[in-house]
Chain A
Amino acid sequence: MISLTVNNIPVQVPEGTTILHAAAQVGIHIPTLCHVEGLQSIGACRVCVVEVEGMQNLAAACSMPVREGMKVRTNSARARRARRTVVELLLSEHNGECQTCDRNDDCELQSLASELGIRYVHYTGERTKQRVDMSTPGIVRNMGKCIKCRRCVSVCREVQQVGALFPQNRGFETVIGPAFNTDLRDVACVQCGQCVAVCPVGALTERDQIDEVWKALDARDNHVIVQTAPAIRAALGECFGCPPGTLVTGKMVAALRRLGFDAVFDTNFAADLTIMEEGNELLSRLRRALVDKEDVALPMFTSCSPGWIKFMEYFHPDMLPNLSTCKSPQQMFGAVAKTYYAQKLGRRPREIFVVSVMPCTAKKFECQRPEMDASGVRDVDVVLTTRELGKMIRAAGIDFEALPNEEMDAPLGLSTGAADIFANTGGVMEAALRTAYEVVTGRGLPMEKLHVAAVFGLEGVKEASLTIEKTLPHWKFLEGVSLNVAVAHGLGNANRVIEAIRSGEKTYHFVEVMACPGGCIGGGGQPRFTTNEIRMARIAAIYAEDEGKRLRKSHENPQIQELYKEFLGVPLGERSHHLLHTEYTPRDRA
């Protein structure tokens, strides 16, 4: 242990601790800007400077490790002055207007200026050049507002291992962006929005589509319906000041109804449907591999996360056959809504307008993929992020906290607990095993509360092995087989799994990947700022939702059973194939 003092308060911390963390331990807050917990500190902004006795220069608290006997002063006149200067210079270059900014009220630069009590900017400098890049469906880059903190660079390179962003040029001309300042559309970007999730200012945002939804709601000629992803209910409350991990399912439904949607449905319904298709696809691949000795691609990868799909298309195109052919729940929903549900209403597909609320920017990309038109028109019309829905509710003057709890509409609003857990890492795997195990053995998953404990939590790569015993006669070939599964979240972790598979070090049957750290609950469209603590709080909320349901296995959903009986036939059948499955496109990454 190392002993030091911070503002004369003694503190002991393990070697390697930064001044920032040592100070936090005794309740002293040092302002930061470029620093993000869990990412490597690069000391780019120098907002966190503190005075260390005996050192000539001020030290960056976020990256400087403590030393024995160190005397740190976080609030000396010199430190305060330096910090102010840094922020004033940032403000003098900043090319943005708070009143009309997407981040108004939710901006780290704004709150930093307020925290430091800056009332006057003593510098007049050239403003950063405006350039708005709207080239992609999911993400807008407004470079006038960029403060060059490089959080987006670190997240995209280290966490996602995509590397779409990097500082281009030098000095004042530096732009944080794609190679040679091209548009984001022209480089390998998977649209995951993790850069948007960490950007402290309004430089990176989702494409705002709120007005498109208002327009559809106002027009009144179409039947406008909404689906909400499982992760929304565990995070939307944060937009209204609820503590992270507050479940707001009922209020969310009430708010959507008050916004004027003709029916409030649930992506969860489609998640149950996904399990029916994907579980059966896995079993069919296993049968073809083990019984028919066909050369079928294993392990099978999940395909719910459009950022992950695009990542595979760019970086591992040779392994596209390993991806499940199942569409994501959002797209299954759209296809079913504009066919099955439209028929029930006696409407044509084009008379149904489908809005999705997703925790995800990549879903905005996904819904406009050319192949997502199984109903004959675009299956999902507009995708809003959780944050956009929050803004819409506020703009409508709805007092969220005062809303009653309401129920989703039938038939596409009913779901089981298995669908809820699609929201977090490990959840799709667990949901699939709940159904697949029962299909094969006729018995429930032999685990406490149906939870596969090994795939729970925020470990980057998780593994489990399940030995199948006493199968039903039809599945005899699986008797005694150990089903090996893996779960990864964050694309860097997905790369680790893929490398282990390629090298032969690991053999899995089934691998779940979600592009975002923590899964959808940590998606690029969720309320900011998402820390690991918040991820765990949201996950806890999701499991509570699951455990509170009477039905917890997808195949028990009566509306799903009816959908197959009335319309689809059987899982993997002809109609499913057309509406619920898809194909992938190899893409060149450079």
Chain B
Amino acid sequence: MSNEPSTSPGDDPATATAAPACPCGQARSEEELLARLDEVLAEYVHVPGALIPVLQITQAMFGYLPETALRKISKALDKPYSEVAGVVGFYSFFTTVPRGKHLVRVCLGTACYVRGGKEVLAALKHALGIEVGETTGDRMFSLDVGRCFGACGLAPVIMIDDDVHQRVRPAKLARILDGYRRDEARHDNGEDA
């Protein structure tokens, strides 16, 4: 059965990325971003087929699609909220889950998988208290899986942001995660990480 939302995307929506907007890593306040969203919406109000481009811009601004923003979009573009939600759910690159400061990815490629990747993932889920695709309550970590980071010789491997951690054992995880937490705390206190 056909399952295409009736709003068809103008351009290829897959080009959208979910990168946080601010390079300094310090997120702008949500109010600031919502105010900017208002400006964007004002531009798009009368543009036909605006829903998908607006969602892409919003995700680029916030790093994800927060509910408050989606409701705003629904009202401003005069699209039922059900339709906005349906479009968000239809395209896998849209996400309504905020991304943590650090993205933890566990390799589940063949080599890592057979050498304990699965146990590492289970331990991470336990340590962070979240499932794959989710973010911790303090927005510190998001958890995801990958399919081979090209370091099979050193399996099992996890990546946190751009750092590769090799030969990870479940018992080592707490120390690794704590390292990132400490850096954050320093950053917050104005020291350089």
Contact = CB atoms under 8 A, between A and B. Distances in A.
B82 interface: yes
Contact of A166 (B1, B71, B86): B86
Contact of A179 (B1, B82, B90): B82
A180 B1 contact: no
Contact of A180 (B3, B79, B80, B96): B96
B82 A166 contact: yes
Contact of A44 (B2, B79, B90): B2
Contacts of A44: 1-2
Contacts of A180: 85, 89, 96
A166 B83 contact: yes
A428 to B, nearest CB: 29
Contacts of A166: 5, 80, 82-83, 85-86
A218 B75 CA distance: 50
Contacts of A589: 75, 81
A45 B3 CA distance: 11
A168 B86 contact: yes
Secondary structure dominating the interface of A: loop
Contacts of B75: 589-590
Given A43-B2, A180-B96, A590-B74, A168 B81 contact: no
A170 interface: yes
Kindly state the interface size class of chain A when it binds its partner: 20 to 34
Interface residues of B, number: 19
B84 interface: yes
A411 B189 CA distance: 80
B89 A170 contact: yes
Nearest to A163: B80
A414 B118 CA distance: 76
Where chain B touches its partner, the secondary structure class is: helix
Contact of B3 (A43, A157, A171, A177): A171
Contact of A169 (B71, B80, B89): B89
A589 B85 CA distance: 14
A541 interface: no
Interface in B70-122: 71, 74-75, 79-86, 89-90, 96
A164 B80 contact: yes
A196 B179 CA distance: 56
Interface in A169-224: 169-171, 174, 177-180, 187-188
B80 A167 contact: no
Most chain A CB within a 10 A radius of its CB, from B71, B82, B83, B89: B82
Given A162-B80, A180-B96, A590-B74, A168 B1 contact: no
B81 A590 contact: yes
Interface of B: 1-3, 5-6, 71, 74-75, 79-86, 89-90, 96
21 contacts: A42-B2, A42-B6, A45-B1, A162-B80, A163-B79, A163-B81, A163-B82, A167-B5, A167-B90, A169-B89, A169-B90, A170-B3, A170-B89, A179-B82, A179-B85, A179-B86, A180-B85, A180-B89, A188-B81, A590-B71, A590-B81
Given A148-B3, A180-B96, 7 more contacts: A162-B80, A166-B83, A166-B86, A168-B85, A179-B81, A179-B82, A589-B81
